[in-house]
Structure 1
Amino acid sequence: MRLAAAGARARDGGALEELIAALLAVGSAGDREDATEALRVLTERPALLLRLDAFIRRESWYSTRPAPSLTEADPVALALAASHADGRVRERAVRRMLSQPDPEMTPFLVLRTSDWVRQVREPACAGLAVLLHEKPLLATAATVRTALLVNRRQRGSFALGQLLASLLAESGTALCGRLLTAPEPVVRRFALDATVQRLRLHDLAALAESDPDRQVRARAAEAAARQAVWTDQVGLLHRLARNRHAEVRITALTGLMRTGSPQDVVPFLDDPSAMIRALAREAARCTGTDSPAYYRAAVQAAVPRVGAIGGLAEIGSRADGPLLTALLDNPAPQVRVHALRALRSLDAVPVPRVMVLLRDGSTAVVKEAAATLAPSATHLPADQLWDMLSDPHRPAVRRAGYRLLNRHDRLTALRAALVLSADSHPRLAAQARTDATTQIRTLAPDPWRTRPVPSLDAGPAQAAELLALAEQRCAEITEGVVQLLRNVLRRVPGSR
Structure 2
Amino acid sequence: MTGEETPRDAVLRGLAHGRRLTDVVDVWSPEGWLDVDQRVRNAYRRCEPGLPRHDWLTTAGPHTPAPTDGRLLLALCTSDGRIREAALAHAADRPVFLPLIALRTADWAGPVRERTRAVLAAALPGAEAGTLRLAVPVILRGRHRERGNAAFRMLEETLATAPPEVIHALFRVRDRATRLFALDLALDRGLYTIEELARIAAEDVHVGIRDRASTAVLAAGAPGESLGPLLASTCGRVRSAGVTALRKTGRTAEAEAFLFDRSGLVRACARWALRQDGRDPLPLYRAACADPATVPDHAPFALAECGDRATDLPVLWELTGHERPRVRASAVAGLRRFDVADLARLLPFLDDPSPRVVWEASRTLSVWADRLPEAELLRRTGPGRPAHVRARALQLLGAAGSAAYGETAGRLAEDPDPELRSRLRYMRVRPRTSSHVLVSPCVPPRPRRGNTRPGAAPAPQNGRHG
TM tier, shorter chain? Answer: 0.7 to 0.9
Distance 2:380 2:197 in 1: 53
* Deviation of 1:108 (Å): 1.1
Cα deviation code 1:347-390 (max 9, x no counterpart):
34664443332211122322322332345556666654442232
Residue 92 in 1 paired to residue 94 in 2? no
In terms of mean alpha carbon deviation, does 200-209 or 67-76 score higher? 67-76
Match of 1:437 in 2: 434
| Counterpart residue type for residue 23 of structure 2 | A
Match of 2:123 in 1: 131
How far off is 1:191 after superposition? 1.0
* More off after superposition, 291-300 vs 321-330: 321-330
| Residue number in structure 2 paired with 1:275 | 265
The 2-side partners of 1:388 and 1:192 are apart by 52
Provide the C-alpha distance between the structure 2 equivalents of 1:249 and 1:430, rounded to a whole number of angstroms. Answer: 32
CA distance in 1, matches of 2:321, 2:15: 66
**Aligned mates of 1:242, 1:143 — CA distance in 2:** 36
- The counterpart of 1:75, out of the listed 27, 45, 69, is 69
Partner of 1:244: helix, strand, or coil?
Answer: coil
**Structure 1 pair 19/222, CA: closer, same or farther in 2 (3 Å)?**
same
> Aligned match of 2:241 in 227, 251, 254?
251
Task: Give 1:399's aligned residue.
Answer: 391
Shift in Å, 1:224: 2.3
Does the 8 Å contact 1:110/1:147 carry over to 2? yes
Q: Aligned-pair distance for 1:218?
A: 0.9
* Contact 1:166/1:172 (<8 A) preserved: no
Q: What residue in structure 1 maps to residue 112 of structure 2?
A: 120
Q: Which residue of 1 aligns with 2:286?
A: 296
| 1:162–1:206 distance in 2 versus 1, CA, 3 Å | farther
How far apart are residue 81 of structure 1 and its match?
Answer: 0.5
Letter in 2 for 1:372: T
Q: Is the 8 A contact 2:104 2:116 kept in 1?
A: yes
Letter in 1 for 2:197: L
Please name the residue that 1:455 is paired with.
none
Residue of structure 2 aligned with 1:368, choices 360, 365, 378: 360
2:348 is aligned, of 356, 360, 380, to: 356
Instruction: Give the deviation of 1:46 after TM superposition.
Output: 2.9
Match of 1:52 in 2: 36
2:142–2:149 contact (8 Å) kept in structure 1: yes
Match of 1:414 in 2: 403
8 Å contact from structure 1 (residues 391, 397) kept in 2: no
1:185 aligns with: 176
The answer to whether the aligner puts 1:66 opposite 2:52 as a matched pair is: yes
Structure 2: gaps (5+ residues): 58-64, 438-466
Task: Give 1:28's match in structure 2, choosing from 14, 17, 42.
Answer: 17
Is 2:226 aligned against 1:236?
yes
Range that drifts further, 258-267 or 282-291: 258-267
Q: Structure 2 vs 1, CA of residues 311 and 26 (structure 1 numbering), >3 Å: closer, same or farther?
A: same
Give the 3 Å change call, closer, same or farther, for CA 263–389 of structure 1 in structure 2: closer
The higher radius of gyration belongs to 1
Deviations for 1:311-341, whole angstroms, at most 9, x for unmatched residues? Answer: 2111112221222122222232222111101
What is the Cα deviation at residue 156 of structure 1?
0.6
**Aligned counterparts of 1:406 and 1:51: Cα–Cα separation in 2:** 40
Q: 1:66 to 1:287 in 2, by over 3 A?
A: closer
Match of 2:208 among 211, 215, 220: 215
Contact residue 9 and residue 43 of structure 2 kept, 8 A: no
**Deviation for aligned residue 1:237:** 2.5
Compared CA separation, residues 101 and 203, structure 1 to 2 (3 A) = farther
Higher relative contact order (CA 8 A, sep 6+): 2
**Is 1:307–2:293 an aligned residue pair?**
no
Number of the residue aligned with 1:109: 101
Q: Deviations over 1:380-426 (max 9, x none)?
A: 66654442232434333233434455676x7xx21354344323255
Change (3 A) 1:288 1:143: same
Partners of 1:56 and 1:13 in 2: how far apart? 16
- Is 1:195–2:186 an aligned residue pair? yes
Mark the CA change 1:418 to 1:86 in structure 2 (over 3 Å): closer, same or farther: closer
RMSD: 3.1
Residue of structure 1 in register with 2:460 after alignment: none
Task: Find the aligned partners of 2:288 and 2:325 in 1 and give their Cα distance.
Answer: 17
Give the alignment partner of residue 167 of structure 1, picking from 159, 163, 180. Answer: 159
Residue 205 in structure 1 maps to residue 198 in structure 2: yes
Check the 8 A contact 1:168/1:195 in 2, yes or no: no
Change (3 A) 1:140 1:330: farther
Distance 1:416 1:187, change over 3 A: closer
Letter in 1 for 2:407: L
Equivalences, count: 414
Superposed counterparts of 1:136-151, under 5 Å: 136-137=128-129, 139-151=131-143
- Give me the whole-angstrom Cα distance separating, in 2, the residues matched to 1:14 and 1:194: 47
The 3 A distance-change label for structure 1 pair 297 and 21 is: same
> Quick check: 238-247 or 413-422, which moved more?
413-422
Cα shift at 1:197? 2.2
Cα 1:287–1:66 change in 2 (3 A) is closer
How far apart, CA to CA, are the structure 2 residues paired with 1:397 and 1:109?
57
Counterpart of 1:265 (choices 252, 255, 269) is: 255
Deviations 1:455-488 (A, max 9, x none): xxxxxxxxxxxxxxxxxxxxxxxxxxxxxxxxxx
Which moves more between the two structures, 53-62 or 236-245?
53-62
Counterpart among 198, 213, 227 of residue 220 in structure 2: 227
Distance 1:121 1:115 in 2: 5
TM-score of the pair, normalised by structure 1: 0.74
Tell me the distance in 2 between the aligned counterparts of 1:407 and 1:138: 53
Distance in structure 2 (CA, Å) of the matches to 1:205 and 1:439: 49
Q: Tell whether the 8 Å contact from 1:26 to 1:38 is kept in structure 2 after alignment.
A: no
Residue identity opposite 2:68 in structure 1: D
